[in-house]
Chains A and B, each alone.
Chain A
Amino acid sequence: MTAYLIRRLLWAIPTLLGVNVLLFALFFIVNTPDDMARVHLGVKRVTPEAVERWKAERGYDKPLFVNDKASGGEKLTDTVFFNKSVRMFALDFGRSDDNRDINYEIATRAGPSLMLAMPAFILGLLAAVSTSLFLVFVRATRLDVLGVVLCVIAMSISGLFYIIGGQYFFAKVLAWVPISGYQSGWDAWRFVILPVAIGVIGSLGGSARWYRSLFLEEINRDYVRTARAKGLSETRVLFVHVLKNGMIPILTGVVVVIPSLFLGSLISESFFGIPGLGSYTIDAIQSQDFAIVRAMVFIGAALYILGLILTDLSYTLVDPRVKLK
């Protein structure tokens, strides 16, 4: 088990290296720092001097891989590749293009992101599982058909409509909660409750339908027939036997997103003005801050890989038949 874990963690390194090289190629070779400077400075202010100054301020003026002017080890370390790419492995993301410390921003913004993402994730899972179990309980009735139809309609509506509609109705018309903003501490719930509710409802249709098909698959298994043959009630069969076994694919399927919850949700955070990592990323994309986008992509990839490892671990936790070698 430990050996497996270590091997998986070691395997993550080449993948992260690949992500890093891909990012480096995208940001420094396909698109040179000169281009970035031109985009940032705007058409009117582009002069060769301004471009050089912009690059020098952000450390983009150094050679890409080998610095001939430096001496000793600095030949390799005083380069764009080392400073902007290799340092990310040490979780040192440097400064954003408008010269702020990215690490500090990430540390302060992860909290609000989690405040929104964690409840939305847990409640969303609970809501989807209970809805799908209910649909399975009333399977092959009109109620089931109606439920599935509603699920399909719900998943055909863009998430943006849930957010816009919810914000308009509950925050503006009914004024139950503030329209947007955030406060740290216990007062945060007033700002977070609506985005959480919208996140739960917005994802309910798709996941409930998917879980329903998983449970329906279980219900035709031999052990269910045995349980019924023993004379167990239908509710007991469903809520004890089917639920336990059906949860295996569900749990292992959702574990992969748990680390990524740190990144927050891009759209709801920026709609509700929550100062988390999601809105940070959106702002960076909109102001074309390449340094932040690069950092967020790297963190996102690292968290996803972590999620994959956790998924493998969760198999052994919920299903004793699985042994990792």
Chain B
Amino acid sequence: MKPVVLISDALFFLLIACSLIGLWYASRKEHLRRAWHSVLADRVAMGALAVLLLFLGIALLDSLHFRRALEPAAGSTNSEVHYAVELDSVLDVLLHDVKEHKEKTYSAPFAHTLFERQTVERPDGTRGREFPRLKYGAAHLKNPETDKTADLVQQALRGVAVAGAVWLALAAFISAGVARSQRKPFLAAVSATLRGCTPLAWDGLLWAAGLLLLVLVPLLLMADSYHVFGTDRTGNDVFFYALKAMRTALFIGTLTSLVTLPLGIAFGIAAGYFGGWVDDAIQYVYTVISSIPYVLLIAASVLLMQAFIETHGAWFDTPAARADARLVALCAIIGLISWTSLARLMRAETLKLREADFVTAAHAFGVKPLRIMSRHILPNAFHIVLITLVLDFSGLVLAEAVLAYVGIGVDPNTISYGIMINGARAELARDPMVWWQIAAAFIFMLSLVLAANLFADAVRDAFDPRGRTALRRRRRVVA
């Protein structure tokens, strides 16, 4: 086994490290702590946070990559170890059975046969067209026609029981924490937690976690012996693919900010603080960039990036590294295009702050401009950065799907919701239609984007209660 860190993994870990440092910093400043406190006191925001944390966990597990060591070839005396070309992640190992249970082609959710008739050889030697049994789906049942419902109910009940146990443990753990911090007896803390009478809205987190557990645990348990979301054209488990696509969605939504934040903050503050020709030049650059339609500029850049990767194919040793380079490049391109809105907001805020007394005082003390900008202006305008960040996230996740449809999104070999939806077009035209792949993409995307939207609203209300900065969501990419 050889650990592999893809570029996107490294950037993602860097981003998480930055956010942890940011949270640690926020916890030491009274005004930031209070703002975050009011976010977490919101029941809906806490529920959304539970969903987001779960998805983040899935993406993290899917970002720890390694290459499996291959068995030495028989008779070889060479002690050198060879590694598989294919990358595995920790998620692949955890869901090993689901990943390896490949059927021949389409099969419906919870089916025991393939979706289409195939020519098969019957035991008596004749040939005929029938629905062949699946290799793995419901393979443990002798008579699936009669036994399947009972088996499904039994497995679902077992899943619900496990989910309930986990939920009780979680509730007990949180109540114990509440009991400790509020110096209450344990039972009083349990009732306070469940009724939402705690300073932080733990009940929102618990109910959302309960719902997630109730849905996901039975599905995960059943995924070993059934294809809970069916299989796709090449027989891969759709549930597994939908979980894997979470990483791509989160990466597009977050890695882009690694480009937008430095550019938007630096140019926005510089334009507002220095004024004069610096302001003119920066305003000119962002007017030019933002006057080009978003999708078209991305399309132009991605076409060029594709041509570039094609001509420099030798740089990437595995197909996964190549697909990953494309993902990172896509994030960079979107970032290079969308820093302009942040820069505009930062410039406006800096223009206001520049006249503030504390900046004049710093100026009078002879503090250097760079220090004034970083110590006095940035911290006071940082709420704008944070709000833009969370508001943009959901738009980016949705944009990924559209870009994939246009053919300028992630690499076609990457697993992403956009690629799944794109593939589903042909499936819906079939008769009878194959609906489960698009259904899975729909459910997972909706839960991610909805949670992100709800959380973003709470963050905006907490950090900018009067709506001073007129922040709003980017217009839909699809018009």
Contact = CB atoms under 8 A, between A and B. Distances in A.
Nearest to B438: A164
Interface stretch (A21-29, A79-87, A231-239): A21-29
Interface stretch (A69-77, A102-110, A279-287): A279-287
Contacts of B289: 22
Contacts of A164: 421, 424-425, 428, 438
B300 A23 contact: yes
Contacts of A288: 303, 306
A218 to B, nearest CB: 13
A252 interface: no
A304 interface: yes
Interface in A3-59: 14-15, 18-19, 22-23, 26-27, 30-31, 35-36, 38-39
Nearest to A14: B284
Nearest to B457: A152
A286 B407 contact: yes
B306 A39 contact: yes
Nearest to A289: B303
B220 interface: no
Interface stretch (B169-177, B253-261, B290-298): B290-298
B304 A26 contact: yes
B476 interface: yes
Interface stretch (A182-190, A240-248, A291-299, A311-319): A291-299
Interface string B436-479: 00100010011001100110010000000001000011011111
Interface in B299-330: 299-301, 303-304, 306-308, 310-311
B288 A15 contact: yes
Interface in A264-279: 265-268
Contacts of B46: none
Contacts of B433: 168
A263 to B, nearest CB: 7
Contacts of A27: 300, 304
A172 B433 CA distance: 11
A2 interface: no
A274 B421 CA distance: 21
Contacts of A290: 303
A22 B288 contact: yes
B402 interface: yes
B311 A153 contact: no
Contacts of A267: 402, 405-406, 478
Contact of A265 (B285, B406, B438, B479): B479
A162 B79 CA distance: 57
B249 to A, nearest CB: 11
A294 B475 CA distance: 23
A35 B296 contact: no
A156 interface: yes
Contact of B445 (A23, A158, A202): A158
B401 interface: yes
Contacts of A304: 291-293
Interface in A176-207: 199, 202-203, 206
Given A31-B307, A266-B406, A156 B453 contact: yes
B303 A35 contact: no
A56 B457 CA distance: 55
A152 B398 contact: no
A35 B405 contact: no
Contact of B291 (A35, A36, A286, A305): A305
Given A158-B398, A285-B408, A213 B307 contact: no
A157 B450 CA distance: 8
B287 interface: yes
A297 B454 contact: no
Nearest to B478: A159
Contacts of A213: 467
B394 interface: yes
B296 A296 contact: yes
Contacts of A305: 291
Contacts of B310: 38-39
Given A23-B300, A161-B442, A210-B472, 4 more contacts: A152-B450, A157-B449, A260-B293, A301-B291
27 contacts: A15-B288, A15-B291, A18-B285, A19-B288, A23-B300, A26-B300, A31-B307, A35-B307, A38-B307, A117-B479, A152-B453, A152-B454, A152-B457, A155-B453, A156-B394, A158-B449, A159-B398, A159-B402, A159-B477, A168-B428, A206-B476, A257-B475, A263-B293, A282-B406, A293-B299, A300-B292, A305-B291
Top-6 shortest CB links A-B: A159-B478, A18-B288, A300-B293, A156-B450, A156-B449, A31-B304
